[in-house]
């Protein structure tokens, strides 16, 4: 295999995955969504503390219609690889150790917080010290091995491009959580969509949503690996009408 072929394969891998957040671009009149975080030092999107609501959009609880659930009143924020993620003494995570987060409440709010924390930690940019144990202990389902392969390949491609040694985290996850919508919930499984803002191909902010499925393992929520180990088909661009169906990440919201 020639160097050019290897390079193209790595670039294709990078475009295909990088877990759940996104960059969206319009190509040949069709919307193409690549599940990718920006890694450059000059495109900060995430702000410290609580993310602000998107400009000129309505993400109030009233606009969200049936997207019921409600986050706890003690909601606070913590930074993980550049992404501000919600935390709560009531809903979790109750344990943060060695870069991982676990111990989420067995209810709707716990499922929402688990989804956010796990998907951030299975991104290759956080490094194998975090994504490997997260994939091993917090991802379930028949396609879990395929997801691990995708993440490891993407990590290899990114560190190769950055000229970094194996084991180091790579870059920052330029994404901001804007909202959530619970699609279905039982004591055994939960499905929801996360509304994310990230830099588009031109650098301008793009808002899209991605569908996430979780399963209760008996002691905690775990991410149900997507079909084929990739979230490509789970990510869609968000219109103004779509955005109005999401609840904001606000305490008691």
Helix, strand, or coil (residue 169) = coil
How confident is residue 230, by pLDDT bands cut at 50, 70 and 90? confident
CA atoms within 13 A on the CB side of 122: 35
Give the tens place of pLDDT for each residue, 87-138. 999 999 999 999 999 999 999 999 999 999 999 999 999 999 999 999 999 9
Please indicate, yes or no, if residue 173 is contained in any of the structural domains: yes
Q: Is 163 exposed, middle or buried (0-12, 13-18, 19+ CB in 10 A)?
A: exposed
Please indicate, yes or no, if residue 218 is contained in any of the structural domains: yes
pLDDT at 9 over 50: no
Give the tens place of pLDDT for each residue, 76-87. 999 999 999 999
Please indicate, yes or no, if residue 248 is contained in any of the structural domains: no
Which structural domain range is residue 176 located in?
A: 3-243
Over residues 223-245, mean pLDDT: 90
Question: Distance of CA 248 to CAs 19, 52, 92, Å?
Answer: 22, 9, 18
Structural domain tally of the chain? 1
Please indicate, yes or no, if residue 123 is contained in any of the structural domains: yes
Q: How far apart are CA 154 and CA 77, in angstroms?
A: 28
Q: Where are the alpha helices (DSSP H) in 103-201?
A: 108-121, 128-138, 144-162
Both tokens assigned to 16: 């295909």
Q: Are 53 and 231 in contact (CB under 8 A)?
A: no
pLDDT at 176 over 90: yes
Give the tens place of pLDDT for each residue, 22-71. 433 322 222 222 333 333 333 333 333 445 443 334 434 334 433 445 89
């Amino acid at each position: 295999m020639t160097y050019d072929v290897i390079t193209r394969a790595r670039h294709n891998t990078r475009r295909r995955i990088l877990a759940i957040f996104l960059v969206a671009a319009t190509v040949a009149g069709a919307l193409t969504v690549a599940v990718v975080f920006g890694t450059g030092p000059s495109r900060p999107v995430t702000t410290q503390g609580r993310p602000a609501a998107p400009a000129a959009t309505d993400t109030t609880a009233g606009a969200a219609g049936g997207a019921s659930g409600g986050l706890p009143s003690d909601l606070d924020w913590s930074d993980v690889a550049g992404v501000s993620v919600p935390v709560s003494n009531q809903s979790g995570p109750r344990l943060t150790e060695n870069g991982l987060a676990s111990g989420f409440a067995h209810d709707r709010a716990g499922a929402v917080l688990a989804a956010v924390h796990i998907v951030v930690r299975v991104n290759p940019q956080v490094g194998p010290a975090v994504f490997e144990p997260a994939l091993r202990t917090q991802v379930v389902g028949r396609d879990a091995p395929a997801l691990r392969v995708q993440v490891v390949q993407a990590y290899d491609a990114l560190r190769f491009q950055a000229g970094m040694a194996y084991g180091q985290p790579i870059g920052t996850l330029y994404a901001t959580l804007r909202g959530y919508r619970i699609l279905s919930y039982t004591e055994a499984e939960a499905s929801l969509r996360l509304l994310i803002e990230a830099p588009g191909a031109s650098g301008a902010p793009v808002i899209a949503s991605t569908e996430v499925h979780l399963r209760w393992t008996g002691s905690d929520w775990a991410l149900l690996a997507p079909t084929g180990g990739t979230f490509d088909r789970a990510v869609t661009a968000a219109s103004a009408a779509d955005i109005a169906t999401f609840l904001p990440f606000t305490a008691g919201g």
